Chains A and B, each alone.
Chain A
Amino acid sequence: MKLVLKLLASFVVALVLGVGSALLLLRGGAGLGGAIAVGPWTTSAETGSADADPYTRARIAIGGLLALSRSETIYFTAATDDAGAPLRTRCAYRIIGTDPPARWWSITAYGADHFLIPNPQDRYSFGGNTLAREDDGSFVIFVGPAAADGNWIPTGEKDGTFTLTLRLYNPNEDAARDPSRIELPRIAGEACPS
């Protein structure tokens, strides 16, 4: 009887430690993780690929199921602004940049649950074909809870962390070969009510 109890206790402890550490590792990291970083944006060269290591595959399954491999699409994710502060839905940000080297691109905001953030405007993203541009061809996208003129991605009414995904469809050859050298938009933190 005592042995059965001991075995059971050992199994429960092992279960909590083993499964818990796995889930913590997969969910704990910022964004989807990934070895390649450009400012606050990160990506993994192995997304969707059969070369993906088990941890990358598991992380993608949780936060990016059915993602394409990088010759077709590069997915960059940012969980912080340029200064390294976690992105929060109650704060305001400006994404400033020029068109990245791809046939088509878009920037989309996702809640901490990896789904689109509910907002009365039903607006979740801007793409290279849908946003308003500055005179010099560059763009500014406002992300935050308060309405802004121009390209505005609302972050709804609930407070929480969020992430941004930049998709590069059919990236140029150089970009696909070495995503770390792509020039990506800046994410400037603006007002953040405490």
Chain B
Amino acid sequence: MKTWPIWIAGTIVLAAVLHILTIFALPYGIMDRAMAGIAAQAGGVNKALYPEPATAGSRGIVRPSPDLLYTACVYDIGARPLRITSPVPDTYWSLSMFASNTDNFFVVNDRQTKTGGIEIILATDDTAKNGNDAQVVIAPSSRGIILFRSLIASDAARPEIDALRRQSRCEPL
């Protein structure tokens, strides 16, 4: 009996499985690499990193905007929730959170905050609500990235905006 048709069919099925696995695994792999890069520079997870504005030498995250100041934390809330605090400047500003599969599961901007600052608790479940006035955000994954964006409205405003974003913090509860 000829076995080559079975071999060809088997190879095609295996190729299809590997194709699907690649498509599903890529976002996790790329996110893992980004998290490792940020955590290495920040000195660990649950710590903020304050990179300089992006230039052609910035090779960490693809397609950065040179008009924004980015502040980033890798979160790891498997053991304890995280308290995120930041002043909110008088320019476009946003705080966004990304799950380990790259999904943007939370975003808030300066116009949606009422006071000059923000405090958010990031947790894996809502038990962190107990005794906390701060807004609690439930993350779909225990690891991911928190990203603050501050628009550099003008060269003159840059020092003030830079000083404010350096007060953004990520600290375990």
Q: Report A's interface with B, CB cutoff 8 A.
A: 6, 10-11, 13-15, 17-19, 21-23, 26, 48-50, 52, 54-55, 57-58, 60-69, 71-72, 103-104, 106, 108, 110, 114-119, 122, 124-125, 127, 129-130, 165, 167, 169-170
Q: Is the C-beta of B145 less than 8 angstroms from some C-beta in chain A?
A: yes
Using known A-B contacts A10-B11, A13-B11, A114-B63, determine if residue A61 contacts B30 with beta carbons closer than 8 Å. Answer: yes
In the docked arrangement, what's the CA distance between A67 and B70, Å?
12
Q: Is the C-beta of B109 less than 8 angstroms from some C-beta in chain A?
A: yes
B14 touches A57 (CB 8 A): no
Q: Is the C-beta of B23 less than 8 angstroms from some C-beta in chain A?
A: yes
Return the contact of A66 from the options B19, B147, B153 (Cβ within 8 A). B147
A50 touches B105 (CB 8 A): yes
- Other contacts beyond A65-B102, A104-B151, A127-B67: 17, CB < 8 A: A10-B14, A13-B11, A13-B15, A14-B17, A22-B18, A22-B26, A54-B20, A57-B102, A61-B30, A65-B34, A66-B98, A68-B107, A114-B62, A116-B54, A116-B56, A118-B56, A170-B109
Interface residue ranges of B34-66 to A (CB < 8 Å): 34, 54-59, 61-66
Which residue of chain A lies nearest to B16 when distances are taken between CB atoms in the complex? A18
Which residue of chain A lies nearest to B102 when distances are taken between CB atoms in the complex? A61
Using known A-B contacts A15-B18, A61-B27, determine if residue A115 contacts B56 with beta carbons closer than 8 Å. Answer: yes
Q: List 11 A-B contacts (CB under 8 A).
A: A10-B7, A15-B15, A18-B19, A23-B22, A48-B102, A54-B20, A60-B102, A66-B98, A69-B107, A108-B65, A129-B151
Which residue of chain B lies nearest to A60 when distances are taken between CB atoms in the complex? B102
Q: Is the C-beta of B104 less than 8 angstroms from some C-beta in chain A?
A: yes
Which 10 A-B pairs have CB atoms at the shortest separation, nearest pair first? A18-B18, A48-B104, A14-B14, A118-B56, A22-B22, A17-B15, A114-B62, A18-B15, A61-B27, A18-B19
Determine which residue in B23, B57, B63, B92 has the highest number of CB atoms from chain A within 10 A of its CB, and name it.
B63
In the docked arrangement, what's the CA distance between A32 and B140, Å?
25
Using known A-B contacts A15-B18, A68-B96, determine if residue A49 contacts B104 with beta carbons closer than 8 Å. Answer: yes
Which residue of chain B lies nearest to A17 when distances are taken between CB atoms in the complex? B15
In the docked arrangement, what's the CA distance between A57 and B25, Å?
10
A54 touches B62 (CB 8 A): no
B23 touches A122 (CB 8 A): no
Give how many B residues have a beta carbon under 8 Å from the other chain's beta carbons: 51
Q: Is the C-beta of B124 less than 8 angstroms from some C-beta in chain A?
A: no
A110 touches B63 (CB 8 A): yes
Q: Report B's interface with A, CB cutoff 8 A.
A: 7, 10-12, 14-24, 26-27, 30-31, 34, 54-59, 61-67, 92, 94, 96, 98, 101-105, 107, 109, 111, 140, 145, 147, 151, 153-154
Which residue of chain A lies nearest to B106 when distances are taken between CB atoms in the complex? A69
Determine which residue in B30, B67, B92 has the highest number of CB atoms from chain A within 10 A of its CB, and name it.
B67
Point out the residues of chain A lying under 8 angstroms from B66, CB to CB: 108, 116, 124-125
Using known A-B contacts A19-B18, A67-B104, determine if residue A26 contacts B26 with beta carbons closer than 8 Å. Answer: yes
Point out the residues of chain B lying under 8 angstroms from A63, CB to CB: 62-63
Which residue of chain A lies nearest to B157 when distances are taken between CB atoms in the complex? A129
